[in-house]
Amino acid sequence: MKRTPIRLLIAATCVVVGAAAISLGRPVPERPAASLLDAGSRASITPPWRTRVDTVRRGEPLLAVLERAGVSRDEATRALRSAATIDARRVRAGTTITTRTSPVSGASEIEFQLAIDRLVRLRRTDSSAWTETEERLQWRTDTVAVGSVVRSTLTDAVERGAAAFPERIRDEVAYALADILEYRVDLSRDLQKGDTIRLLVERQTATNGLVRPGNVLAARLTLGGRRVETVRFTNAQARVQYFDGDGKSMRAGFLRAPLNFRRISSVFGMRKHPILGVWRAHQGTDYSAAAGTSVRALGDGTVIYAGWKGGYGRVVEIRHRNGFVTRYGHLQGFAAGIKRGAAVAISRTIGFVGSSGLATAPHLHFEVLVNGVHRDPRAALKNQVGESLASNERSSFEQVRSRFFALLDSGIGRAAFVSENAVTPGARGEAARHVGAE
């Protein structure tokens, strides 16, 4: 009986302590399990942003491109209204457009690449207004080598050897080289399987990673064992020209071909006529090209005939200096102003490739006459060279030439150098880093 008061005291103490603990602790509100899961879902998932890169298709309205990227028509309209530098009706096909959108909040940024070095960005502000900024990319210039053995065409050879450039722009290097050589080399005929090409080319890289080719600085080709060299040289008056290895201008009185380099379907000599079916002399060169391709005057001269002439169809004849006459046949039509007595300058468009007269398909029939006698165009134009470099520029030219070709001969890539003849005006004074290609 004596133990009962002690037990009661202990029990009372536990009750008091438990009550105090409950009163001091934070109450936990009752919440359904589903609401807890839903809250956790909302807290852990962020609306995704989607970046899309697209291009304007031919004839496509700009609004259609933006809608395809997930920008609503109303939002796209407001964004374009804020752009003072963009005319939606004049954005060219192929223009790259990058958009950033969210399925929850809509579009936040639209970027137009109007040129390789010009970006226009439209950004949406917190107030849902749009602002415009324009950016001109800065370019860093270095120098790389392109080299290859010809398997088929110049373009194929350059594209295989131009690993320093993105694949989609490698043909630009080939076109630049062709433009330099067009007074010396008919790339449709003179370039053969097994010939070699090596050249130094400026590579320009923008801050956003874009790459484009710059100037061709030097090139060396072997064409059937014959060496052809060219060097880009800036003289004391800041005039830029290309010269051959002997210091003679690459520009001559005549181009080597009346079209940009194309495949030739027939050569000078005897052949079986495709329509008449008889063997007879083919006193010219046939250039296979698409109908409507521009035909250019081979040199300065005067038009002595422009009209229809039997099997030639529509034909233009031009008299040049030193007894040369060039003839362009099977034309689709004549360029504006091309008529008898008209003066024409070298490279001027005189007509367009067609299939008039005795022709089975669109092509250009081209002839060269010297003092009234038909000549093989390749032989007749082979020795037409440009003027020599001024004597007071010879020393500077030789230094530049020696430097460039020493780099080519040594494989390139082992030394950087600084040269005003090696970089573009925007990058003058910057050391050029040389990288070997093939």
Structural domain contains residue 14: no
Structural domain contains residue 129: yes
User: From the centroid of its chain, how far is CA 27?
Assistant: 71
The residue among 108, 136, 164 that closes a domain is 136
Q: Could you tell me the mean pLDDT of each successive run of 10 residues in the chain, 438 residues long?
A: 56 56 50 48 59 89 89 90 85 89 85 86 86 87 90 88 90 90 82 91 87 93 91 90 92 85 40 41 74 92 96 95 93 96 95 91 91 85 79 93 85 38 35 32
Residue 172: give the domain boundaries. Answer: 139-252+387-435
For residue 338, give the H/E element and its range. none
Residue 327: which residues within 8 A CB-CB, separation 6 or more?
284, 312, 315, 316, 317, 365, 366, 367, 368, 369
The residue among 110, 136, 162 that closes a domain is 136
Q: What is the pLDDT, as a whole number, of residue 272? A: 42
**Alpha carbons 130 and 76: distance in angstroms, whole number:** 10
Structural domain contains residue 25: no
The residue among 136, 166, 189 that closes a domain is 136
Map residue 16 onto helix, strand or coil. helix
Q: What is the pLDDT, as a whole number, of residue 12? A: 59
Q: What is the pLDDT, as a whole number, of residue 236? A: 84
Amino acid at 124: R
- What does each C-alpha distance from 119 to 49, 60, 101, 279, 401 come to in angstroms? 21, 20, 19, 60, 38
Structural domain contains residue 13: no
% helix, strand, coil for the chain, step of 5 = 25, 35, 40
The answer to whether the CB of 330 falls within 8 A of the CB of 295 is: no
Q: What is the pLDDT, as a whole number, of residue 263? A: 38
Residue 333 shares a structural domain with residue 408: no
Structural domain contains residue 393: yes
Residue 307 shares a structural domain with residue 354: yes
Q: What is the pLDDT, as a whole number, of residue 9? A: 56
Number of domains in the chain: 3
Amino acid at 80: L
Residue 279 shares a structural domain with residue 335: yes
**Alpha carbons 102 and 343: distance in angstroms, whole number:** 62
Residue 373 shares a structural domain with residue 392: no
Residue 168 shares a structural domain with residue 238: yes
Residue 55 shares a structural domain with residue 126: yes
Q: Which of 339, 330, 348 is nearest to 291 (CA)?
A: 330
Task: Write down the residue that tokens 């079916």 correspond to.
Answer: 277
Residue 216 shares a structural domain with residue 244: yes
Task: Write down the residue that tokens 């956003």 correspond to.
Answer: 208
Provide the CATH number for the domain around residue 206.
3.10.450.350
Q: What is the pTM of this model?
A: 0.62
Structural domain contains residue 15: no
The answer to whether the CB of 134 falls within 8 A of the CB of 85 is: yes
